[in-house]
Amino acid sequence: MQKVISTAVIKRLPRYYRYLGELRKKEVVRISSKELSERMNVTASQIRQDLNNFGGFGQQGYGYNVEYLYTEIGKILGLDQEHRVVIIGAGNLGQAIANYGDFARRGFDIKAVFDVKPELIGKEIGDIKIRAMSELKEYVIEQKPDIVALALPKEHAVQVANDVVSWGVNAIWNFAPVELRLPKHVVVENVHLTESLMRLSYNIRAKQNEQQAGELAKKLAAEVKSESAVTKE
Q: d(Cα 21, Cα 26) in Å, to the nearest integer?
A: 9
Q: What are the pLDDT digits (tens) for 126-149?
A: 889 999 999 999 999 999 999 999
Whether residue 88 sits in one domain with residue 174: yes
Which residue(s) pair with 84 in the sheet? 109
Whether residue 57 sits in one domain with residue 42: yes
**CATH code of 47's domain:** 1.10.10.10
Backbone angles phi, psi at 144, to 5 degrees: 50, 65
Is 1 a member of any domain?
no
The total domain count for the chain is 3
Whether residue 183 sits in one domain with residue 89: yes
Is 2 a member of any domain?
no
Backbone angles phi, psi at 184, to 5 degrees: -60, -25
Return the DSSP state at 57: -
Which residue(s) pair with 150 in the sheet? 88, 174
Strand-by-strand arrangement of the 58-59 sheet? 30-31, 63-65, 58-59
pLDDT at 56 over 90: no
**Strand, coil or helix: 122:** coil
Q: d(Cα 143, Cα 146) in Å, to the nearest integer?
A: 9
Domain that holds residue 53: 7-76
Check residue 201 and give its pLDDT: 94
Whether residue 18 sits in one domain with residue 90: no
Among 76, 99, 120, which residue terminates a domain? 76
Whether residue 145 sits in one domain with residue 60: no
Whether residue 127 sits in one domain with residue 182: yes
**Strand, coil or helix: 1:** coil
Q: Per-residue pLDDT averaged across 151-178, rounded?
A: 95
pLDDT at 225 over 80: no
Whether residue 125 sits in one domain with residue 49: no
Q: d(Cα 83, Cα 76) in Å, to the nearest integer?
A: 14
pTM to 2 decimal places: 0.81
**CATH code of 137's domain:** 3.40.50.720
Q: How confident is the model at residue 218 (pLDDT cuts 50, 70, 90)?
A: confident
